[in-house]
Amino acid sequence: MQHFQFYSTKSISDALHFLSEKGERTRIIAGGTDLIPRLRQENSLPDFVLNVLEIERLNGITERNHILRIGATTTHTQLVESGLLQRSCPSLVQAAASIGGPLIRNRGTIGGNLANASPAADLAPVLLAMDAEGVLMSERGTREVALRDFFIGPGKTLLNPNELLVEISIPLPKGTNLFLKLGRRQAMSLSIVNVAVCLEMEGGNCREAKIALGSVAATPIRCPRAENLLRGKEIDPELISKCAGEAMAMSKPVDDQRAKAWYRRQAGEVLLKRALFQAAGLRND
């Protein structure tokens, strides 16, 4: 690698000031698990790298007024080990546990997973299915962005160069939430397809349904048409099949090193059916 200057601070206002002046020429580093390999590949380096791992305020998981708040530098290991998340948001724990291996999880962060904006990001579908929001700060102020609007393309988000993603807020999910991932291995595997569902059931009737898919489009996506098929209906295997088909019809998978588009479409449909069966409390035959 050629050269950049390294800046580290414990103060969030210091970091925001740095970004207000030098944001366009800066890459932000937390765990570095995506950034460092990327810097090795790219032809030109940023002028500055801003280390945010020392800012304590950016780390931690709390719940207040039925809203979960997760600091952006919270690591995947912290997510997995959180009793609060295990009780209230198991799909987020499942997703975090599926990322990389222990070494990656000890460094990789929720903020990085989102800001890196890989279409295959594992935390994204879960957070989308729970209507999570990102809190973005700059020296000029704070804004909250629904994650549904956050991703605009592969590797691209709404983040301005002078902004920092500081926190992810999640309304406490009701009902059952689930995450499933298909990869080439059980660990150290980018997703070929991943799915997140959130179902609120009343007996056999579905009060609310939220479905999100990853690795099958330019960004992680919600599937509102498929959700509508379930909302207010009695859930049976036939309806689930129809719903999964509708969800996949919205997807635009591509061929890449991990899988072909046709495979993603087929496997995605199976995975989604499996998730819906489980979340609805039906036996998957």
Residues binding other proteins (CB under 8 A): 1-6, 8, 29, 31-33, 36-37, 40, 45, 49, 51, 53, 77, 100-104, 106-107, 186-188
On whether the CB atoms of residues 203 and 227 are closer than 8 A, the answer is no
Q: Quick one: 180 or 197, whose CB is closer to other proteins? A: 180
What is the C-alpha radius of gyration for the chain, rounded to an integer number of angstroms? 19
Q: Quick one: 57 or 174, whose CB is closer to other proteins? A: 57
Q: Minimal distance in Å, beta carbon 126 to other proteins?
A: 20
Name the CA dihedral angle for 35, 17, 72, 99, rounded to a multiple of 10 degrees: 0
Q: Quick one: 80 or 209, whose CB is closer to other proteins? A: 80
Place of tokens 């704070």: 142
Q: Minimal distance in Å, beta carbon 196 to other proteins?
A: 22
Q: Minimal distance in Å, beta carbon 6 to other proteins?
A: 4
Q: Quick one: 49 or 230, whose CB is closer to other proteins? A: 49
Q: Minimal distance in Å, beta carbon 97 to other proteins?
A: 9
The token duo for 104 is 């990656």
Q: Minimal distance in Å, beta carbon 32 to other proteins?
A: 5
DSSP secondary structure of 153-166: ETTEES--TT-EEE
Q: Quick one: 100 or 214, whose CB is closer to other proteins? A: 100
Place of tokens 């498929």: 226
On whether the CB atoms of residues 164 and 52 are closer than 8 A, the answer is yes
Q: Quick one: 183 or 253, whose CB is closer to other proteins? A: 183
Distance between CA atoms of 166 and 160, rounded to whole angstroms?
13
Q: Which of 65, 95, 64, 69 is nearest to 80 (CA)?
A: 95
CA 129 to chain centre: 10
Q: Minimal distance in Å, beta carbon 81 to other proteins?
A: 9
Q: At what angle do helices 261-280 and 237-249 cross, to 10 degrees?
A: 140
